[in-house]
Structure 1
């Protein structure tokens, strides 16, 4: 067995031979004896490598277990995930579903045997956007009110008949009958244009303006009819019936004016309680005893 001293001597001899070879070319070089070398990782490096491999295996097993647990909890199948099913016509959700972010869909519909319920803790907002991304129509269902924003609002029947429409210029009611169930009726702050105003059967029709005047105007006449009752017109100050072209006709079996004033009696005579209607120059009517004559300067005309 060769010692360290022998190895040092051989190395020293080789160095001398190398120097001599440089000085004298052609001399064979000195070679050290061949010793086998161990190849590999030993010591603390080997332990660190084994620890790293073990740690990677633990992480791999934990990830695999978590993946299997998530698949089991979320009910992942070939058709979908949980209550979500992927069909040929789109996505199908069964049961209650919660959306925490905006939902973009072309069509949302329920099953044939159930209703579609959209519920929110606050407001439910449905937006329709144009090609530039701006909101063109909006429907907000809140706890205080239901608001609809858009250029035009329409309500149609099943046979595509217009029932109600509203825009900035007008509001159209397309139904055959507009029914107001309020105790005070319908209140209009401005003019109303309609071809007919009719009360329900066995109900009274009343047109009233408590603090202002009531004006009815028509280019071709106004017809007030009561087939099974009376027509009553009352006012506080004055009632004006004016016909610019034509006449005012009172067509009835009896025309009564119970509150006409009576003129002064100029001379006594048997009148038998008969009275006649007289007209003052101002147009005022008064009663005078028959046979006395209508006086233009009667006291009733003052």
Structure 2
């Protein structure tokens, strides 16, 4: 892999996720805080109108607009679709990007703590996960490498390398100090890692570590008319990354009944009851626990 020189730190992809937005303001006033030898680090406020109107998005989710097909489609021209094309021109274009690496900053209402989402499982990303965990033992590493960067629709997939920093729990349109501090620490740690990786100066890392691999998403229970008939079970709520075995209750129905987990693998729920996902009726994501071994 060639050295990473051009780095973009992106905040405000969703206008009501405040930690990244206020950190960007801080870093724009004091760019030396992001400076690393050999790196050119720029910051980007992705969805300013969403922030102005205190909404996740105006027309559609900006963080789902970055497939090559959608970026090339001039008919997709609402606010977020247009912003995606502008951002792609600034940081990309995807497939031949000016940016080598993107860090996209997000908040979740779910009790996920400081979570690093990796979109690839190559040497660079595996070592990044190990380094972040060594510096932040409270962190969680999730791999969403089920498709290639070219196929991903996330903003961070514009560049050949990109990660999502996902920190919670934080309500929409709120700032929490613990959450903001975690986001700042993780971002600084990632930048430290990139500078060290470039120069073959990484410290000794553990030979292996535990991580999670996204498998599927579950929807809230509905009736035949599409009306919601239940909610996330209280035993699951706030228990992100706690194991869920077959037969365990996962949803409570409004009539008092329960739906149990019937998967054939031990699942680790996350993004549990994420407020932003209610428009898609999503209840949680599931992952399997995996062991990452460094080469």
TM tier relative to shorter chain? under 0.3
TM-score by length of 1: 0.17
| Higher relative contact order (CA closer than 8 Å, sequence separation 6+) | 2
Structure with higher Rg: it is 1
**TM-score under structure 2 normalisation?**
0.17
The structure whose residues are more often helix, as a share, is 2
